[in-house]
Amino acid sequence: MTIDRRNQVVGVIARVIGTSIALTTEAGILGIAIAELVALLIPSLLSIVSLYLRRIVKFKRADLSISTLRLMLGFSYRSFGVNLIGALTLQSGTVVVGLVGSSADVTYYNAAFRIYSGVRQLLTWTVDPFRPALSRIFGKDNADATPVLMSILLVSLGAGSAASCFLAISAPDLVELWLGGTVPTDVVSLASQVLLIGLLINMIHIPLAPATDAAGKPGTLIWGQMLWLVLCVGISFPLAAHFGIVGVALALSLPLVLVEPLMLFLAMSVLDIRMSSWLRLVATPVLAIVGCSLALTALVGVLIERFNLEYYWLILGLGFGLCVLVATAALDRTYGLRKSISALNIDL
């Protein structure tokens, strides 16, 4: 486990302990907020301590200069801009639901969004460990970085697609088990399914954003993010007025049909990746594995539907996961999956 990941685990543990203390001592929302703040600070503080103890870097005021600071900010503000616009787009749904609907609608939408954000977090965990290595390799030779980048795209798209489909299939049962029968679980599960289907498209560019940063081209995707924000906000209000939280989920997902091709074009022009290579090495294997798994799952669903099983959708989701494993093993030789993934055997 890397130092960064270990520090994050400590932060998660601190969050759980702090939240538990806040709940048991009746500290209320303020106590939970303090626990969240402490949990966010701990990883950064531990990282600083680790740097000093390991003597990896020493901070001296004399080492700072205006030119260095200008260079660093010139890089970071463009990368920050992409992330900020993306965050505004994702959080706009909650704002729209709050303006158009009720407080209960906001709660239901946030519940659906938490399922969606879990898969986005999985994609982040898949890509983040390779950022330093990508920066190092891109600094030497773009040609050497391309196989590593393709492997990252394959793994992230494959894992994200499998997780999204599993949760989309299992959502009716998972939401009912999670929220109980006192809430409109059918609406919440449908909203989460719409978000997850949109994420299947959105995850095409998610790993490309850190890749452009690693290649020294931050801010490459900012116009794509701007387009997504404008389209999302523009159609959110009419869709929310007619379809409630499901309409907001549609507003977040539908624009991606136009946005993702633009994102792909912008990133590939910077990363020197050919569309044919991406289709052959990344998109086709994932489509084959997920498509075969969905077809097998649908067949199983038809066969077991007559038995009226209690957790029918959850069983289908687990069946889909098993089908993914079988399809991956069966198609390994056809698409050379192990050979593609072996490019990730690099020093992080």
How far apart are alpha carbons 180 and 197 in whole angstroms?
A: 24
Question: What is the structure's pLDDT at 57?
Answer: 66
Question: What is the structure's pLDDT at 88?
Answer: 92
How far apart are alpha carbons 203 and 164 in whole angstroms?
A: 10
Question: What is the structure's pLDDT at 250?
Answer: 96
The secondary structure element, H or E, covering residue 223 is helix 222-243
- In whole angstroms, what separates CA 119 from the centre of its chain? 5
- Output the pTM of the full model: 0.81
Question: What is the structure's pLDDT at 1?
Answer: 59
Question: What is the structure's pLDDT at 210?
Answer: 82
Q: What is the mean pLDDT of each run of 10 residues along the chain (348 residues)?
A: 77 87 80 87 86 71 65 71 90 92 91 89 78 75 78 89 94 89 88 94 86 83 94 95 94 94 90 87 93 94 89 94 93 84 65
How far apart are alpha carbons 105 and 117 in whole angstroms?
A: 18
Question: What is the structure's pLDDT at 119?
Answer: 87
What are the helix (H) ranges across 25-102? 28-53, 66-100
Q: And the tokens for 157?
A: 């798209």
- The single-letter code of the amino acid at 96 is V
Q: And the tokens for 106?
A: 């906001």
Question: What is the structure's pLDDT at 60?
Answer: 66
Question: What is the structure's pLDDT at 235?
Answer: 95
CA dihedral 64, 69, 72, 75 (to 10 degrees): 180
C-alpha distances out from residue 269 to 146, 153, 213, 217, 277, Å: 13, 16, 14, 11, 13
Nearest Cα residue to 339 out of 158, 207, 147, 180: 147
Residue reference for tokens 């130092």: 3
Provide CB contacts within 8 A for 31, sequence distance 6+: 18, 21, 22, 23, 25
Could you give phi then psi for residue 221, rounded to 5 degrees? -95, 15
Question: What is the structure's pLDDT at 133?
Answer: 74
Provide CB contacts within 8 A for 18, sequence distance 6+: 31, 32, 34, 35, 36, 38, 39
Question: What is the structure's pLDDT at 343?
Answer: 64
How far apart are alpha carbons 159 and 344 in whole angstroms?
A: 15
Question: What is the structure's pLDDT at 254?
Answer: 95
How far apart are alpha carbons 239 and 88 in whole angstroms?
A: 19
